[in-house]
Structure 1
């Protein structure tokens, strides 16, 4: 499936626990990402629904905020653009939405722009206000 017509400025990776600080060049993959063969990402509009669905029991979440253009360029977690086995963001239909999946790269200090800690107040939809 192709990318949405209005590409987001940022994509987010949802984590149920704090990532290492400082961020390493390569963050460990979640079991889901390892099994699926790609890193699951969400737009700002998708994060609340994904958080409510998969992380509803958590009282806090950690979000990796990543500039879309950095991932679209093929930047790996070490900050280098991969030329062989290039990293790629693919937009794929999942359920009722089209989600970004990162293939062929890791997340890390070289492509994650910011780490955000969010506390749950009510639902995640009520607690999250993110940049598109």
Structure 2
């Protein structure tokens, strides 16, 4: 499916609980990611809607900020660019738009730029509007 134009600078993985600190080379997959066979990611514009829809009952979230170009280059969680069985970002239509899915790779300290904790104040859309994306 088509990627957005222009391409985003960053993608985000939403976590309902704190990731290990420091980040390991490979973060464990969520049950949803494991069952679907890819890692669900969002653009900054998609994060508030995704958070409200899937994480409405939690009071805090952690956002993993990932540079799009790093993932698109095939960089795995260990920070190495794979040449064989290269991880791929695919843009796929999901109900309300096109979302990035990472196939064949992991997230970890080698491709996650930063981790941000966000506390819910009202809706996720209102709480997340305070972030610098």
Same fold by TM (over 0.5)?
Answer: yes
Give the alignment of 1:1-132 within 5 angstroms: 1-129=1-129, 130-131=131-132
Q: Which runs of 5+ in 1 are unaligned?
A: none
Aligned residues: 132
Task: Give me the whole-angstrom Cα distance separating, in 2, the residues matched to 1:51 and 1:25.
Answer: 25
Q: Secondary structure at the match of 2:35?
A: helix
Tell me the CA shift for residue 5 of structure 1.
1.3
Kindly indicate whether the alpha-carbon contact (under 8 Å) linking 1:52 and 1:124 is maintained by their aligned counterparts in 2. yes
Task: Give me the whole-angstrom Cα distance separating, in 2, the residues matched to 1:127 and 1:60.
Answer: 10
After superposition, the CA RMSD in angstroms is: 0.9
TM-score of the aligned structures, taking structure 2 as reference length: 0.97
Task: Give me the whole-angstrom Cα distance separating, in 2, the residues matched to 1:66 and 1:131.
Answer: 14
Task: Give me the whole-angstrom Cα distance separating, in 1, the residues matched to 2:132 and 2:77.
Answer: 22
Tell me the CA shift for residue 35 of structure 1.
0.4
